[in-house]
Structure 1
Amino acid sequence: MRPIRAGGQYGGMRDLRWEEVSGWFDPEEMGTLPDLRVPGTTAEHWQALLDLVVAGGWRHEYAQGDAVRPLPRAAQVLGRPPGAECPQLRVWPARDMLAVFRFLGPQEIDFDVDLRELQGQERLDLFCGFLRAIGRHLHRPVLMDPEGAHGHAILGYDPSTDRVALASDVPPGPRR
Protein backbone atom coordinates (compact mmCIF):
# COMPACT_ATOMS: atom_id res chain seq x y z
CA MET A 1 0.00 0.00 0.00
CA ARG A 2 1.27 3.45 -0.90
CA PRO A 3 -0.05 5.83 1.76
CA ILE A 4 -0.92 9.38 0.83
CA ARG A 5 1.65 12.02 1.55
CA ALA A 6 0.84 14.43 4.30
CA GLY A 7 0.00 16.99 1.64
CA GLY A 8 -1.44 19.31 4.25
CA GLN A 9 1.27 21.81 3.52
CA TYR A 10 1.16 24.25 0.65
CA GLY A 11 4.15 26.40 -0.23
CA GLY A 12 5.64 25.85 3.23
CA MET A 13 2.33 26.69 4.94
CA ARG A 14 -0.12 24.18 6.28
CA ASP A 15 -3.63 24.11 4.83
CA LEU A 16 -5.10 23.99 8.31
CA ARG A 17 -3.46 24.38 11.69
CA TRP A 18 -4.62 21.90 14.31
CA GLU A 19 -4.79 24.48 17.08
CA GLU A 20 -7.16 26.58 14.94
CA VAL A 21 -9.52 23.78 13.80
CA SER A 22 -9.36 21.16 16.55
CA GLY A 23 -12.89 22.08 17.67
CA TRP A 24 -14.22 21.02 14.26
CA PHE A 25 -12.58 17.61 14.82
CA ASP A 26 -13.97 17.01 18.31
CA PRO A 27 -16.11 13.83 18.11
CA GLU A 28 -18.08 14.85 21.23
CA GLU A 29 -19.12 18.20 19.70
CA MET A 30 -19.30 17.40 15.98
CA GLY A 31 -20.34 13.76 15.96
CA THR A 32 -17.95 10.93 15.22
CA LEU A 33 -18.68 10.59 11.50
CA PRO A 34 -18.84 13.91 9.62
CA ASP A 35 -20.37 13.82 6.17
CA LEU A 36 -18.01 14.43 3.27
CA ARG A 37 -19.22 15.08 -0.24
CA VAL A 38 -18.17 16.00 -3.73
CA PRO A 39 -21.14 17.90 -5.22
CA GLY A 40 -22.06 18.14 -8.89
CA THR A 41 -20.73 14.75 -9.98
CA THR A 42 -21.65 12.19 -12.62
CA ALA A 43 -21.00 8.49 -13.10
CA GLU A 44 -17.76 9.53 -14.85
CA HIS A 45 -16.58 11.29 -11.67
CA TRP A 46 -17.38 8.18 -9.67
CA GLN A 47 -15.32 6.13 -12.12
CA ALA A 48 -12.46 8.62 -11.82
CA LEU A 49 -12.62 8.18 -8.04
CA LEU A 50 -12.44 4.39 -8.38
CA ASP A 51 -9.50 4.78 -10.76
CA LEU A 52 -7.77 7.07 -8.23
CA VAL A 53 -8.22 4.51 -5.45
CA VAL A 54 -6.55 1.83 -7.58
CA ALA A 55 -3.82 4.10 -9.02
CA GLY A 56 -3.08 5.48 -5.55
CA GLY A 57 -2.43 1.96 -4.30
CA TRP A 58 -4.78 2.57 -1.42
CA ARG A 59 -6.00 -0.51 0.38
CA HIS A 60 -9.71 -0.86 -0.37
CA GLU A 61 -12.65 -3.20 -0.04
CA TYR A 62 -15.88 -3.10 -2.04
CA ALA A 63 -18.90 -4.75 -0.44
CA GLN A 64 -22.52 -5.38 -1.26
CA GLY A 65 -24.18 -6.28 2.00
CA ASP A 66 -21.87 -8.74 3.75
CA ALA A 67 -20.27 -9.96 0.51
CA VAL A 68 -16.87 -8.54 -0.40
CA ARG A 69 -16.47 -8.41 -4.16
CA PRO A 70 -13.99 -7.17 -6.77
CA LEU A 71 -14.24 -3.46 -7.50
CA PRO A 72 -16.75 -3.02 -10.36
CA ARG A 73 -17.13 -0.16 -12.84
CA ALA A 74 -19.01 2.84 -11.44
CA ALA A 75 -21.74 2.62 -14.10
CA GLN A 76 -22.49 -0.94 -12.98
CA VAL A 77 -22.85 0.05 -9.32
CA LEU A 78 -24.85 3.21 -10.01
CA GLY A 79 -27.10 1.34 -12.45
CA ARG A 80 -28.33 -1.15 -9.85
CA PRO A 81 -32.12 -1.68 -9.67
CA PRO A 82 -34.21 0.68 -7.52
CA GLY A 83 -34.46 -0.60 -3.97
CA ALA A 84 -31.27 -2.65 -4.23
CA GLU A 85 -28.94 -2.50 -1.27
CA CYS A 86 -26.47 0.40 -1.39
CA PRO A 87 -22.92 -0.92 -1.82
CA GLN A 88 -19.99 0.68 -0.06
CA LEU A 89 -16.32 1.13 -0.75
CA ARG A 90 -13.99 1.18 2.23
CA VAL A 91 -10.69 2.95 1.49
CA TRP A 92 -7.64 3.24 3.73
CA PRO A 93 -5.60 6.12 2.26
CA ALA A 94 -3.22 5.91 5.22
CA ARG A 95 -2.64 3.57 8.12
CA ASP A 96 -5.52 3.77 10.60
CA MET A 97 -7.49 6.19 8.40
CA LEU A 98 -10.68 4.81 6.88
CA ALA A 99 -13.04 6.53 4.45
CA VAL A 100 -16.34 4.83 3.63
CA PHE A 101 -17.91 5.76 0.28
CA ARG A 102 -21.57 5.01 -0.37
CA PHE A 103 -22.95 4.82 -3.89
CA LEU A 104 -26.16 6.76 -3.20
CA GLY A 105 -26.36 8.30 -6.67
CA PRO A 106 -24.26 9.78 -9.44
CA GLN A 107 -24.95 13.46 -8.61
CA GLU A 108 -22.86 13.51 -5.44
CA ILE A 109 -20.03 11.40 -4.04
CA ASP A 110 -20.76 10.78 -0.36
CA PHE A 111 -18.35 9.41 2.21
CA ASP A 112 -17.58 9.38 5.93
CA VAL A 113 -14.44 9.45 8.00
CA ASP A 114 -14.03 8.85 11.71
CA LEU A 115 -12.89 11.97 13.59
CA ARG A 116 -11.23 9.77 16.22
CA GLU A 117 -8.70 8.80 13.51
CA LEU A 118 -7.95 12.44 12.66
CA GLN A 119 -6.55 13.83 15.88
CA GLY A 120 -3.46 16.07 15.85
CA GLN A 121 -1.55 17.98 13.19
CA GLU A 122 0.03 14.95 11.51
CA ARG A 123 -3.33 13.22 11.02
CA LEU A 124 -4.93 16.50 9.91
CA ASP A 125 -2.19 16.89 7.29
CA LEU A 126 -2.88 13.35 6.01
CA PHE A 127 -6.60 14.09 5.86
CA CYS A 128 -6.01 17.33 3.94
CA GLY A 129 -3.76 15.40 1.54
CA PHE A 130 -6.56 12.88 0.99
CA LEU A 131 -9.13 15.59 0.27
CA ARG A 132 -6.68 17.31 -2.05
CA ALA A 133 -5.97 14.07 -3.95
CA ILE A 134 -9.69 13.53 -4.53
CA GLY A 135 -10.43 17.15 -5.40
CA ARG A 136 -7.49 17.48 -7.77
CA HIS A 137 -8.33 14.26 -9.57
CA LEU A 138 -12.01 15.14 -9.96
CA HIS A 139 -11.52 18.91 -10.42
CA ARG A 140 -14.24 19.43 -7.82
CA PRO A 141 -14.56 20.79 -4.28
CA VAL A 142 -14.61 18.22 -1.48
CA LEU A 143 -16.72 19.47 1.42
CA MET A 144 -17.06 18.35 5.04
CA ASP A 145 -20.30 18.89 6.99
CA PRO A 146 -20.84 18.08 10.67
CA GLU A 147 -22.52 14.71 11.13
CA GLY A 148 -26.13 14.95 9.96
CA ALA A 149 -25.85 18.59 8.78
CA HIS A 150 -25.79 17.96 5.04
CA GLY A 151 -25.32 21.17 3.08
CA HIS A 152 -23.60 23.10 5.89
CA ALA A 153 -19.90 22.69 5.10
CA ILE A 154 -17.38 23.67 7.75
CA LEU A 155 -14.31 23.09 5.60
CA GLY A 156 -13.27 21.70 2.26
CA TYR A 157 -10.87 21.45 -0.62
CA ASP A 158 -11.13 24.38 -3.05
CA PRO A 159 -9.89 23.51 -6.56
CA SER A 160 -9.41 27.18 -7.48
CA THR A 161 -6.79 27.62 -4.74
CA ASP A 162 -5.68 23.96 -4.48
CA ARG A 163 -6.05 24.15 -0.71
CA VAL A 164 -8.16 22.82 2.10
CA ALA A 165 -9.70 25.77 3.94
CA LEU A 166 -12.45 26.67 6.36
CA ALA A 167 -15.87 26.97 4.74
CA SER A 168 -15.92 30.74 4.53
CA ASP A 169 -13.04 30.39 2.05
CA VAL A 170 -14.47 27.44 0.08
CA PRO A 171 -17.04 27.87 -2.70
CA PRO A 172 -20.18 25.69 -2.38
CA GLY A 173 -19.52 23.60 -5.49
CA PRO A 174 -19.79 23.71 -9.24
CA ARG A 175 -22.76 25.46 -10.73
CA ARG A 176 -25.08 23.14 -12.59
Structure 2
Amino acid sequence: MPDLLWDDHVAWLLDPARDGWLPDGYVADTTPADWQAVLDLVVERGWERTFVVGCFEMPLPPAAEVLSWPSGAARPVLSVRPGPGVGVVFRFRSAERIDFDVDLAQLRGQEGLDALCGFLAAVGRRLGRSVPTYAEGGSGPFLGYDCEADRVLVR
Protein backbone atom coordinates (compact mmCIF):
# COMPACT_ATOMS: atom_id res chain seq x y z
CA MET A 1 0.00 0.00 0.00
CA PRO A 2 1.46 3.39 -0.92
CA ASP A 3 2.10 6.02 1.76
CA LEU A 4 -0.22 8.46 0.02
CA LEU A 5 -2.91 8.13 -2.63
CA TRP A 6 -2.80 10.51 -5.59
CA ASP A 7 -6.55 10.99 -5.96
CA ASP A 8 -7.38 11.19 -2.26
CA HIS A 9 -4.53 13.20 -0.86
CA VAL A 10 -2.13 15.03 -3.08
CA ALA A 11 -3.19 15.64 -6.68
CA TRP A 12 -4.16 19.19 -5.69
CA LEU A 13 -1.04 19.62 -3.56
CA LEU A 14 1.43 18.82 -6.34
CA ASP A 15 -0.21 21.05 -8.92
CA PRO A 16 2.55 23.31 -10.35
CA ALA A 17 0.03 26.11 -10.88
CA ARG A 18 -0.66 26.14 -7.13
CA ASP A 19 2.80 25.93 -5.55
CA GLY A 20 5.26 26.44 -8.41
CA TRP A 21 7.19 24.04 -10.58
CA LEU A 22 10.09 23.46 -8.20
CA PRO A 23 9.06 22.94 -4.57
CA ASP A 24 12.03 23.20 -2.21
CA GLY A 25 13.29 20.41 -0.01
CA TYR A 26 16.15 20.25 2.41
CA VAL A 27 17.81 18.41 5.26
CA ALA A 28 19.33 20.76 7.83
CA ASP A 29 22.37 20.37 10.08
CA THR A 30 24.28 18.15 7.69
CA THR A 31 27.96 17.44 7.11
CA PRO A 32 30.00 16.47 4.06
CA ALA A 33 29.55 12.86 5.22
CA ASP A 34 25.76 13.28 4.98
CA TRP A 35 26.12 14.70 1.48
CA GLN A 36 28.29 11.71 0.57
CA ALA A 37 25.68 9.33 1.99
CA VAL A 38 23.09 10.87 -0.34
CA LEU A 39 25.42 10.68 -3.34
CA ASP A 40 26.16 7.04 -2.49
CA LEU A 41 22.42 6.37 -2.27
CA VAL A 42 21.86 7.87 -5.73
CA VAL A 43 24.58 5.63 -7.19
CA GLU A 44 23.49 2.50 -5.27
CA ARG A 45 19.87 2.85 -6.39
CA GLY A 46 20.98 3.32 -9.98
CA TRP A 47 18.91 6.46 -10.32
CA GLU A 48 19.52 8.25 -13.59
CA ARG A 49 21.68 11.29 -12.85
CA THR A 50 23.52 14.17 -14.46
CA PHE A 51 26.18 16.24 -12.69
CA VAL A 52 26.74 19.62 -14.35
CA VAL A 53 29.18 22.40 -13.53
CA GLY A 54 28.55 25.54 -15.53
CA CYS A 55 27.84 24.18 -19.01
CA PHE A 56 29.80 20.96 -18.62
CA GLU A 57 28.58 17.52 -17.65
CA MET A 58 31.11 15.71 -15.47
CA PRO A 59 31.43 12.45 -13.55
CA LEU A 60 30.05 12.67 -10.02
CA PRO A 61 32.94 13.56 -7.67
CA PRO A 62 33.06 12.93 -3.91
CA ALA A 63 30.91 15.32 -1.89
CA ALA A 64 33.87 16.70 0.09
CA GLU A 65 35.54 17.76 -3.15
CA VAL A 66 32.46 19.57 -4.45
CA LEU A 67 31.78 21.27 -1.12
CA SER A 68 35.37 22.52 -0.88
CA TRP A 69 35.29 24.41 -4.19
CA PRO A 70 36.09 28.08 -3.66
CA SER A 71 33.30 30.61 -3.40
CA GLY A 72 32.74 32.31 -6.70
CA ALA A 73 33.35 29.07 -8.60
CA ALA A 74 30.51 27.73 -10.74
CA ARG A 75 28.07 25.94 -8.44
CA PRO A 76 27.40 22.37 -9.50
CA VAL A 77 23.96 20.88 -9.95
CA LEU A 78 23.07 17.21 -9.62
CA SER A 79 19.87 16.23 -11.44
CA VAL A 80 18.42 12.88 -10.37
CA ARG A 81 15.48 10.89 -11.75
CA PRO A 82 14.44 8.48 -8.98
CA GLY A 83 11.47 7.22 -10.96
CA PRO A 84 9.08 7.89 -13.82
CA GLY A 85 7.94 11.49 -13.90
CA VAL A 86 10.10 12.54 -10.96
CA GLY A 87 13.03 14.90 -11.23
CA VAL A 88 15.05 16.18 -8.29
CA VAL A 89 17.76 18.84 -8.53
CA PHE A 90 20.39 19.02 -5.78
CA ARG A 91 22.24 22.28 -5.23
CA PHE A 92 25.57 22.21 -3.42
CA ARG A 93 25.25 25.50 -1.53
CA SER A 94 26.79 24.41 1.77
CA ALA A 95 27.88 21.37 3.72
CA GLU A 96 25.43 22.27 6.50
CA ARG A 97 22.28 21.81 4.44
CA ILE A 98 21.32 19.43 1.65
CA ASP A 99 19.13 21.51 -0.68
CA PHE A 100 17.05 20.17 -3.52
CA ASP A 101 14.10 21.10 -5.72
CA VAL A 102 11.43 18.67 -6.92
CA ASP A 103 10.46 19.19 -10.56
CA LEU A 104 6.68 18.90 -10.79
CA ALA A 105 6.55 19.42 -14.55
CA GLN A 106 6.02 15.72 -15.27
CA LEU A 107 4.86 14.36 -11.91
CA ARG A 108 1.37 13.01 -12.46
CA GLY A 109 -0.51 10.08 -11.03
CA GLN A 110 0.15 7.40 -8.46
CA GLU A 111 3.32 6.06 -10.10
CA GLY A 112 5.04 9.45 -9.91
CA LEU A 113 3.81 10.05 -6.36
CA ASP A 114 5.10 6.63 -5.28
CA ALA A 115 8.50 7.41 -6.80
CA LEU A 116 8.62 10.79 -5.03
CA CYS A 117 7.61 9.23 -1.70
CA GLY A 118 10.19 6.48 -2.21
CA PHE A 119 12.88 9.07 -2.89
CA LEU A 120 12.04 11.18 0.18
CA ALA A 121 11.88 8.08 2.39
CA ALA A 122 15.16 6.67 1.02
CA VAL A 123 17.01 9.92 1.72
CA GLY A 124 15.42 10.25 5.16
CA ARG A 125 16.21 6.68 6.15
CA ARG A 126 19.78 6.94 4.88
CA LEU A 127 20.36 10.09 6.94
CA GLY A 128 18.12 9.14 9.87
CA ARG A 129 16.29 12.46 9.54
CA SER A 130 13.03 13.95 8.38
CA VAL A 131 13.00 15.38 4.85
CA PRO A 132 10.44 18.18 4.43
CA THR A 133 9.43 19.88 1.20
CA TYR A 134 8.04 23.39 0.92
CA ALA A 135 6.04 25.25 -1.69
CA GLU A 136 8.46 27.11 -3.93
CA GLY A 137 9.75 29.95 -1.75
CA GLY A 138 7.30 28.99 1.02
CA SER A 139 7.90 28.88 4.74
CA GLY A 140 5.88 25.87 5.96
CA PRO A 141 6.38 22.24 4.89
CA PHE A 142 3.60 20.68 2.84
CA LEU A 143 4.85 17.15 2.21
CA GLY A 144 7.76 15.16 3.52
CA TYR A 145 9.29 12.10 5.04
CA ASP A 146 8.72 12.01 8.80
CA CYS A 147 11.53 10.09 10.49
CA GLU A 148 9.53 9.24 13.64
CA ALA A 149 6.54 7.92 11.67
CA ASP A 150 8.85 6.33 9.05
CA ARG A 151 6.61 7.45 6.22
CA VAL A 152 5.81 10.35 3.92
CA LEU A 153 3.06 12.61 5.25
CA VAL A 154 1.09 15.59 4.05
CA ARG A 155 1.63 18.52 6.43
- Is residue 15 from structure 1 mapped to residue 9 from structure 2 by the alignment? no
2:26 is equivalent to residue 37 of structure 1: yes
Identify which of 51, 62, 65 aligns with 1:73. Answer: 62
| Aligned pairs (5 A) from 1:1-176 | 9=1, 14-18=2-6, 19-149=8-138, 151-167=139-155
Amino acid at match of 2:78: L
Partner Cα separation in structure 1 for residue 143 and residue 83 of structure 2: 20
Write the letter of the residue equivalent to 1:28.
Answer: A
Cα RMSD, aligned residues only: 1.3
Q: Secondary structure at the match of 1:113?
A: strand
Paired residue type of 1:63: V
Runs of 4+ in 1 over 6 A off after TM superposition: none
Identity percentage over the alignment? 48
Q: Deviations over 1:124-154 (max 9, x none)?
A: 11110111111111111111100111x4211
Q: Secondary structure at the match of 2:11?
A: helix
Q: Which runs of 5+ in 2 are unaligned?
A: none
Alignment length, in residue pairs?
154
Q: Gapped runs of 5+ residues in structure 1?
A: 1-8, 168-176
**Alignment TM-score, normalising by the size of structure 1:** 0.83
